[in-house]
Amino acid sequence: MIRLVVGLGNPGKEYERTRHNAGFWLVERFAQANGIALRKDPKFKALVGKNAGGAWFVLPQSFMNASGQPVQMLAGFFRIKPEEMLVVHDELDFAPGVARIKQGGGIAGHNGLKDISQRVASHDYWRLRIGIGHPGDKDVVADYVLHKPSVEDKAAIDQAIDRALQVMPELLGGDMQAAIQKLHSGEPKPAEKKDPPKKEVPVKEPEPQKAAGFLNSLFGKK
């Protein structure tokens, strides 16, 4: 059972529409749809809310690279184990429109995950990864995640969040395999890339005189 849901992002108006805030977007939409009030709690340095089932929802307000501090404090206070935590975050390795669930694994340079893993001394928490695409150059990643996605990419990210929200009841109830199967099987398949049709080169018929000369050169005159 999931007792703590953490959405990753950066606080402040200047960041609220940037790619790095995809985790915030999902948790905010879930809270709004389910009547969960996310209130600022200075003690935990986060926006904190609770649903009727007793699960906590947290949006750290300590910026991405210090996301682990509120998580560590809240998990410690309520004795929540890493395997009872779900962290929702943006994923560079997935295209916009893709959403995946997994437990543990590498953090691929994500500063929010890095800080959480260090502070709770574990990688065993669950992750809901929202694809935002990759700029194609690792040297521009930091700038890329802190900018708004294109209109097309934002629409695809929103669709992925929609599908992820549909499996939240299974996640919160602890039926992880059902959530994984439902989310991953509903993922739209990428359009197949078709090779452009080959351009046919017309074969030019040899002119009669040239053809005759060619045959004579091969067989000689009779």
Q: What residues are labeled active site?
A: 20
DSSP characters over 101-138 = EEES---TT-HHHHHHHHHHT-S-SEEEEEE----S-G
Helix axes 68-78, 111-120, angle to 10 degrees: 30
150/138 Cα distance (integer angstroms): 19
Q: What is the DSSP letter of 221?
A: -
DSSP characters over 27-90 = HHHHHHHTT---EEETTTTEEEEE-TTS-EEEEESS-GGGTHHHHHHHHHHHT--GGGEEEEEE
Q: Dihedral of the CA atoms 91, 169, 162, 126 (nearest 10)?
A: 0
